[in-house]
Structure 1
Amino acid sequence: MIIESLLDTDLYKFTMQQCVLHQFPGAEVEYRFKCRTPGVDLRPFLDEIREEIRHLTTLTFTEGELDYLRGLRFIKNDYVEFLSLFHLKEKYVEVKPSDDYPCGIDIHIAGPWLHTILFEIPVLAIVNEVYFRRMYPDLTEEEGERRLDAKIRMILDEPENAELRISDYGTRRRFSRAWQEKVILRLRDGLGYHFLGTSNVFFAKKHGLLPLGTMAHEYLQACQALGPRLRDSQVFGFEMWAKEYRGDLGIALSDVYGMEPFLKDFDMYFCKLFDGARHDSGDPFVWGERMIEHWTKNKCDPRSKSLIFSDALTIPRVLELWRRFRGRVGLGFGIGTNLMNDRGPTPLNVVIKMVRANGQPVAKISDAPEKGMCEDESYLNYLRQVFGIDR
């Protein structure tokens, strides 16, 4: 089976789930799947996807896995005890054919946030692996290895690369679990200290790597329904995160409402409290310059902060960003699809996004309009009005 451990997911799912347990234990949410790649029909693979998800819902955490999580400095014991009783429940996920979606299937996840938050990453990994093993059963690894070796050489050949680090953020869109592991090991052995770690907790544990991650868009989206006032939902999200982690895991996500609302809300208090910010849409060079300027205006030395880039990165783009910003600010690069699904066939651009929380619509209005997802256009227009967003 594709997923054999509940650790086979991104670290930020656990950090967010812990926050949900302590801060929002009663929240109810809905998620929906979307395939952004045109011309893809997933209906022939529906039964296989269902079978894999059914297996996913039988998994529980082993004692060794729980001990590993307990050893992470920011994971609290009561949360680990909760996970010792946890499993994903099949009743919360529905997979069915649908003509309403271009890819031909609908994946809908609904239930308590605490009990549904861990579905997203493994379900996306399942869809990807089922699709690629069925569509390309005879594909060899030769081309993928050639491309990967070329990327490693580009990093090693970059002048003044002593502080350059990249990380794997590719679980959700990987070609396969076996390929992700092979890539991780090749990066570890080929790049040495230039390979910082992986967002995948299973592989971090298995290979003694650094697990990486803080928050995702769904956290700040849910706060639209959980906070006291919609306009203050981003501030509320940051405050509740700080309440949970007391300054740890201090990388703020900047593109749920776009750059302008983020900078308005990310005032001197948050500039000093958080260690950095993560870029996931829009022009990364403009974003980086504006973040440096914003920290400077708010009496923070940018060199003490970090810019984390994670939007559709390739190695050439990483090197461009490195050359622009090195020495001016801390830098991190989380590379997903381009590392974990670059073997020749066009990768799938698939997502699972939160669309409702506590019965009301939630939305993301990023700096890349195609990344937005909302099922209620009137709510989306209202959200734009509240945050003063023209587009």
Structure 2
Amino acid sequence: MDDAPVIRSLLETDLYKFTMWQTLLHAFPANDAEYRFVCRNVPAFPLSELCEAVNRELDHLCTLGFSDEELTYLGGLRFMKADFIDFLRIFRFQRRFIEARPGEGAEAGQLVIVAKGPQVHVMGFEIFVLAIVNELYFRRLCAGREPEVLAEGRARLAVKAARFRDYAAAVPATLGADAHPFECFDFGLRRRFSGAWHDEVVATLKREIPQVFKGTSNVALARRHGLVPIGTMAHEYLQTWQAVGVQLRLSQRAALEGWVQEFRGDLGIALTDVIGMDAFLADFDLYFAKLFDGLRHDSGDPVAWGEKALAHYAALRIDARTKRLVFSDGLDVDEALRLHTHFAGRVPVGFGIGTHLSNDLGPKPLNIVMKLVRCNDQPVAKLSDAPGKTLCDDQTFLNYLRQVFRVPTAG
């Protein structure tokens, strides 16, 4: 397969990296942070065997800068501020802030990757690291059978596009003329098969189902294909506020307020599952419910989550038809269509589909993440609505977080 560098542009990352990056640069430029790579499933071979290649890719990544054309594009997004673009103009990743090594002892066979340093210098590593590990893994796993793997991927993609097209065309007849349309977007950069395949997927969906496919989180592909770049915030943004001197119980409210002050009406979809939906809704009062355009689901039962969101809007006397629910948790075609059928008569919905678009070619995808684990030398946590997604390397802090937000222990 292609031996060229995996990452060839610093624009090849998710939009929410730029939006969070700008916000944290303005709010907490002196933060220190630590991010760790985790593989949640069992790979076909030990990921530690990729370590040498990963380090070569990281060396290359740290030579890249933003071009004038890329910065002009970013600066043209109305929520990107001039001082942040100037910061990016001189930005380079620093190799000393990231380490990749084979695991030892209990981590034997694992690939250990740690980014640690000033948050505004290390937070950007995440998406690039995940794309690098994925592409190196599948280059090796599929060596010698790339044509057949890609042929299978194209066949599967054609079936998905046809199903989306047929379903969307039938919505007025099956759900009623007042039902909100079916719309989806690509969230597949972090776990894609390869950069070339990701580009082909996005180009194919734009060509085949433009009435359904509305954008991508990949900023480079959005620019290349004339699509809308999609994204607002991720877990690390709300987690950061757990470690910046705000009273812990008020950290979610402070994070939401910080977002409102930074973007003043833009980027209005709030992520709900950093401490769980119930704890989020306890903080998402009338003020925030009016200011934010909607909510994003990323763990737990999506129907139960959506019903809670609709009940919350109703209790606040807000017409849910003026808001939007975005689903993004491990979606495939069947699940996206099921959720649309359930909710589209009551609220606008959108579907961010990741691995099922960008890495469905036959070989089993990796389930990898790179998450914020410490900030300002304090632990932070993601207390998900799905137990398998909870992340924290300090059980004492996790227990305290549960107590403060009155989140029961799963089980």
Show structure 1 runs of 4+ deviating over 6 A.
none
Aligned 8 A contact 1:11 1:214 in 2: yes
Q: Structure 1 residues 103 and 121 mapped into 2: Cα distance closer, same or farther (>3 Å)?
A: farther
2:11 partner amino acid? L
For the pair 1:89 / 2:94, whether they are aligned, the reply is yes
Counterpart pick for 2:260 among 227, 236, 242: 242
1:113 partner amino acid? Q
2:359 partner amino acid? N
For the pair 1:43 / 2:54, whether they are aligned, the reply is no
Tell me which residue corresponds to 2:154. 145
Q: Structure 1 residues 102 and 337 mapped into 2: Cα distance closer, same or farther (>3 Å)?
A: farther
1:105 CA displacement = 1.6
Aligned 8 A contact 2:35 2:123 in 1: no
1:227 CA displacement = 4.2
Counterpart pick for 2:383 among 361, 365, 390: 365
Tell me which residue corresponds to 1:287. 305
Aligned 8 A contact 1:11 1:212 in 2: yes
Counterpart pick for 2:27 among 23, 27, 46: 23
1:1-391 equivalences under 5 Å are 1-39=5-43, 40-99=45-104, 100-101=106-107, 103-137=109-143, 138-140=145-147, 141-158=150-167, 159-160=170-171, 163-391=181-409
1:177 partner amino acid? G
Aligned 8 A contact 1:38 1:102 in 2: no
Rounded Cα–Cα distance in structure 2 between residues aligned with 1:247 and 1:299 = 20
Residues 33-57 of structure 1 deviation map (CA, whole Å, 9 limit, x = unaligned): 0001125411221101110111011
1:72 aligned counterpart, secondary structure: coil
1:151 CA displacement = 0.6
Aligned 8 A contact 1:227 1:233 in 2: no
**Length-normalised TM-score, structure 2:** 0.94
Rounded Cα–Cα distance in structure 1 between residues aligned with 2:214 and 2:46 = 36
Aligned 8 A contact 1:257 1:365 in 2: yes
Rounded Cα–Cα distance in structure 2 between residues aligned with 1:2 and 1:270 = 40
Unaligned runs of 5+ in 1: none
1:228 aligned counterpart, secondary structure: coil
Identity %: 51
2:194 partner amino acid? S
Rounded Cα–Cα distance in structure 2 between residues aligned with 1:18 and 1:43 = 33
Residues 205-253 of structure 1 deviation map (CA, whole Å, 9 limit, x = unaligned): 1111100000000000111001420111111100111111112111110
2:342 partner amino acid? R
Rounded Cα–Cα distance in structure 1 between residues aligned with 2:389 and 2:368 = 11
1:59 aligned counterpart, secondary structure: coil
Q: Structure 1 residues 166 and 258 mapped into 2: Cα distance closer, same or farther (>3 Å)?
A: same
2:146 partner amino acid? L
1:192 CA displacement = 1.2
1:32 aligned counterpart, secondary structure: strand
1:127 CA displacement = 0.2
Aligned 8 A contact 2:102 2:108 in 1: no
1:327 CA displacement = 2.6
2:211 aligned counterpart, secondary structure: helix
Unaligned runs of 5+ in 2: 173-179
Number of equivalenced pairs: 391
2:264 partner amino acid? R
Aligned 8 A contact 1:227 1:236 in 2: no
Rounded Cα–Cα distance in structure 1 between residues aligned with 2:109 and 2:275 = 27
1:363 CA displacement = 0.5
1:305 CA displacement = 0.3
User: What do you get for the CA RMSD once the two structures are aligned?
Assistant: 1.1
1:363 aligned counterpart, secondary structure: coil
1:358 partner amino acid? N
1:91 partner amino acid? R
1:277 aligned counterpart, secondary structure: strand
Aligned 8 A contact 2:310 2:320 in 1: yes
2:107 aligned counterpart, secondary structure: coil
1:41 partner amino acid? P
1:31 partner amino acid? Y
Rounded Cα–Cα distance in structure 2 between residues aligned with 1:242 and 1:183 = 34
Rounded Cα–Cα distance in structure 2 between residues aligned with 1:170 and 1:104 = 23
1:103 CA displacement = 4.7
Rounded Cα–Cα distance in structure 2 between residues aligned with 1:61 and 1:142 = 34
Aligned 8 A contact 1:10 1:121 in 2: yes
Q: Structure 1 residues 352 and 323 mapped into 2: Cα distance closer, same or farther (>3 Å)?
A: same
1:81 partner amino acid? D
